[in-house]
A and B are shown apart, each in its own frame.
Chain A
Amino acid sequence: MISVVGHQPPPFFHRGPAPFARLMFFVALSLLLLVLDLRFHTLELARQGVALVTYPLQRLANAPLEGLESWGNYFSSLVTLEKENTGLRRQQLTTANLLLRQEHLELENQRLRALLDMKARQPVTSQVAEILYAARDPFARRVILDKGMQHDIATGQVVIDELGVIGQVTRVFPMLSEVTLITDKDQAVPVMIVRNGLRSVLFGAGAGNLELRFLAANADVQAGDVLVTSGLDEVYLPGLPVAKVTRVDRDTSYAFARILCEPIPGVERNGQVLVLGRREALPPAPPELESKDKPSKGRKGAK
């Protein structure tokens, strides 16, 4: 190996430690960071500090795409807008039926719950946010929202679009927040099958798909079943649509059925989303206890 850097320099050209020693130092430092971040999640503050510095650059980098989009919108013809408008009006009419009855059903539900002496469902606050872009990391499925600590976004909040759950806020920066999508491998959503009330946990399966794990091979699941959040975790509101079962493989050589699902909402699309507030104030418990109690609390619990 012919090398300039590899040669030991004469003492009067001293350039600090040898390259190999420096390599070992930086590799050890990187590995330390990797372990700290993956195992102990203790680097969030450092991450926020760096993010604050890179934030202007990041917004600037986002500008070309935003500009292109607004140009595209400007030139989108009157015809498409009109078509969209009539489509939306039609949709509103079809959903009006459901919406009108919803009020009635909610009242009825409240009365029944009061009758049965059950805990009333809590109303939840929400905030509209916009998906800025998908994170560059090819190993995970995350998107960045345009609201952060400044807008009282906190980790653990659920993010939905008009069709259902798309993910959960896992990291909050001063101006931005990071949402782990339900299709991420580390993200777990407690769900229930609408048809028969069977409860399970839904995991990301890669390539934009989802998977219902640990259901017995003879479990009552069919292709086409709709999965909604079960609400058992006290993080997700019950009844939000999540996914639809696409394929069920029952191989008798395995104890569990292999159940593939596809997300109902436009999980990997950009646009407006709703960040739901926390369902209820969690009791002031020590953090390690909290994560042990709720194994289905998304990223935090899945780890």
Chain B
Amino acid sequence: MMQPTHGSNRILRPVRDWFIWLTLLLAMFFNMIPFGRFPGIPDAVALVLTFWCIREPFKIGMAAAFLIGIVMDVSSASVMGQHSLAYVLLAFTASGLSRRFLQFPLLQQALQILPLLLAAQLVMLAARMSVGAEFPGMEYFLESFSAALLWYPLTYLLLLPQYQPIEKDENRPI
């Protein structure tokens, strides 16, 4: 029987709204870097979006996912609605399960993020294949695996501002 331990959770400062949007913007920037058809480049937007939906389900939700999806649709030259559909479903599941995810240690979280990201990819695949696009090959799903691998470092990176103490005090442990 697994007990919720919250062992890895420190008391964090509240997140700033602009930081959430900045990280999402940076993720979009990463997705726009032209890597060509090189397989296994993670969808940074999906990953960062999932992260904030799990951490801050009241701040980032389906509306944000929809808007970001539209921008990704245009910038990746895919069909309008393809990314937004996948991201909205991703945001719904991630924010609905956020309490469940957060009680696991980070590596187990990564393991549970993987099916979420794969499902989002499957939604996009279904949306395109249903109207006769070409199958991109099994290496298409590699990007979810590389994204799940990034979960551990990404968590530390995105929580870094919240780890900072309010005022510097050398005697305080946090």
By a beta-carbon cutoff of 8 Å, the part of chain A in contact with chain B is: 1-6, 15, 19, 22-23, 26-27, 29-38, 43, 46-47, 50-51, 54, 57-58, 60-62, 64-65, 132-140, 142, 144, 171, 178, 184-186, 204, 206-207, 268
Contacts and interface: CB of A to CB of B under 8 A. Distances in A.
Interface stretch (B8-16, B92-100, B144-152, B160-168): B92-100
B62 A38 contact: no
B1 to A, nearest CB: 15
Interface in B75-90: 75-82, 84-85, 88-89
Contact of B81 (A37, A51, A137, A142): A37
Interface string B104-138: 00000000000000000000010111011111110
Contacts, number: 157
Contacts of B96: 1, 3, 5-6, 19
Given A22-B61, A138-B140, A30 B75 contact: no
Nearest to A133: B34
Given A6-B96, A139-B136, A30 B84 contact: yes
Given A3-B98, A31-B81, A139-B133, A134 B88 contact: no
B66 A137 contact: no
A32 B75 contact: no
Contact of A33 (B63, B65, B81, B89): B81
Which size bracket describes the interface of B in this complex? Answer: 35 or more
A33 B31 CA distance: 22
Given A57-B29, A139-B133, A3 B81 contact: no
Contacts of A46: 80
A51 B79 contact: no
B174 interface: no
B132 A60 contact: no
A144 B62 CA distance: 30
B127 A142 contact: no
Contacts of B100: 1-3
Contacts of A142: 77
B33 A65 contact: yes
B29 A137 contact: no
B158 interface: no
15 contacts: A1-B100, A5-B61, A19-B92, A26-B66, A34-B81, A38-B79, A47-B74, A50-B71, A51-B75, A57-B28, A62-B32, A65-B33, A136-B31, A138-B136, A139-B78
Contacts of B80: 33-34, 36-37, 43, 46-47
B34 A140 contact: no
Nearest to B131: A38
B70 interface: yes
Given A29-B66, A140-B133, A206-B135, A4 B99 contact: yes
Contact of B88 (A26, A47, A65, A144): A26
Nearest to A49: B74
A3 B66 contact: no
B172 to A, nearest CB: 30
B29 A132 contact: no
A34 B57 contact: no
B18 interface: no
A135 B73 CA distance: 11
A57 B132 contact: no
B36 interface: yes
Given A27-B89, A33-B84, A57-B29, A51 B61 contact: no
B42 interface: no
Given A29-B84, A50-B74, A268-B37, 4 more contacts: A2-B99, A23-B62, A30-B69, A34-B82
Contacts of A26: 62-63, 65-66, 84, 88
Contacts of A51: 74-75
B145 to A, nearest CB: 15
Contacts of A4: 57-58, 95, 98-99
A72 to B, nearest CB: 16
Contact of A64 (B33, B57, B74, B134): B33
